[in-house]
Amino acid sequence: MTRVFSGIKPTGHLTLGNYLGAMRQWAVVDQHRAEALFCVVDLHALTVDHDPARVRRLTRQAATLLLASGLDPQLCTLYVQSHVDEHARLSYLLECVASDGEMRRMIQYKEKAARERERDGSVRLSLLTYPVLMAADILAYGTDEVPVGDDQTQHVELARDLAVRFNQRYGHTFVVPKATRPAVAARVMNLQEPASKMGKSDDSGLGIVYLLDEPDVVRKKVMRAVTDSGREVVYDPEERPGLANLLEILAACTGGNPDELSAVYQSYGALKKDTADAVVEVLRPVQARHRELCADPAYVEGVLRDGADRARKMARPVVDTAYRAIGLLPPV
């Protein structure tokens, strides 16, 4: 059976981008067709300036929202990265096959490092090695497929490269994974700055729809989305990125196609109204289930405990094999 792994980082409140680009696919498709693991990657949240209490809170919230989005612990394994030591163990071995040059070439590193340097004057070493830990997440489970939004493709490519290199040097150890992406909404853009991704750690308020935004807040954000001065509704991501983003969001929420949908609308206003309604409807059941789950924290904890137990059992043999292959003496 195909093995699927993916993760989400608790660095901010989860967004519509996370949902349409990744989480919904995990719940609706992946957990039904594959042996699937989904992980709240809290170690990755420590790579930039962080508040310990906030990371803990966001980790619990992300796990709760993943369940609210439809992940079913009977069908998949849901857990927290730091509960399974194998991630950190394997990450070190992979640092011994990765080069600093390939880390410095990562687009997200360049962007985030520039931001951190400006804000703080320094960059955590863990930000540079971030993609190695991510490769360890993936490779520890013999993963075939990694369902992610567009922005993670380069990181998954690196995991492939490291798997191939390790296998060539030390003998076949890892499955070589590949990224998969949703048909639409693989890159949901910021509603106020359609040239940038809708990212959870930017706090430019109106441009980001959060999964827990109230319906009137969602409506306000979508109705105020930046479009352009044209009048005709056309799907042209290059020339009309704001409009294309709304069409993609609407298509992702209603199961349509952005190009076909553009022909349906005569005005931006009508498109915005329908998009706002569609987003509110998509979020409604997630928010309702989230409220129920918040009232039952013991259930969520139980899911995470069982998930970590299962994940540990899967990762252990793979990581132990890698330890032997690379030249470490088994404990006596």
- Give the catalytic positions in this structure: 112, 197, 200
Give 190's contacts (C-beta < 8 A, 6+ positions apart).
Answer: 196, 197, 198, 199, 202, 204, 207, 208
300 sits near ligand TYM (criterion: CB under 6 A): no
**The one among 84, 134, 191, 314 contacting ligand TYM by CB under 6 A:** 134
Contact letters for ligand TYM, residues 31-50 (x by CB under 6 A) = ----------x--x------
What per-residue string of b and e applies to 33-52 under the rule 16 or more CB within 10 Å gives b? ebbbbbbbbbbbbbbbeeee
Q: With respect to ligand TYM, which residue has the nearer C-beta, 121 or 255?
A: 255
Q: How many CA within 13 A on the CB side of residue 110?
A: 8
Find out whether 17 is annotated in a ligand binding site.
Answer: yes
Residue 136: CB minimum distance to ligand TYM, A:
9
Q: With respect to ligand TYM, which residue has the nearer C-beta, 17 or 194?
A: 17
Give 143's contacts (C-beta < 8 A, 6+ positions apart).
Answer: 3, 4, 5, 37, 175, 177
Residue 231: CB minimum distance to ligand TYM, A:
27
For residue 155, the Cα-to-chain-centroid distance in whole angstroms is 12
DSSP 33-89: HSEEEEEE-TGGGGGSS--HHHHHHHHHHHHHHHHHTT--TTTEEEEEGGG-THHHH
**The one among 4, 13, 17, 166 contacting ligand TYM by CB under 6 A:** 17
- Interface segment toward ligand TYM; rule CB under 6 A; list 143-151, 209-217, 224-232, 272-280: 143-151
**The one among 36, 198, 246, 280 contacting ligand TYM by CB under 6 A:** 198
Binding site for ligand TYM (CB under 6 A): 5-9, 17-18, 21-22, 41, 44, 134, 137-138, 146, 148-149, 151-152, 155, 185-188, 197-199
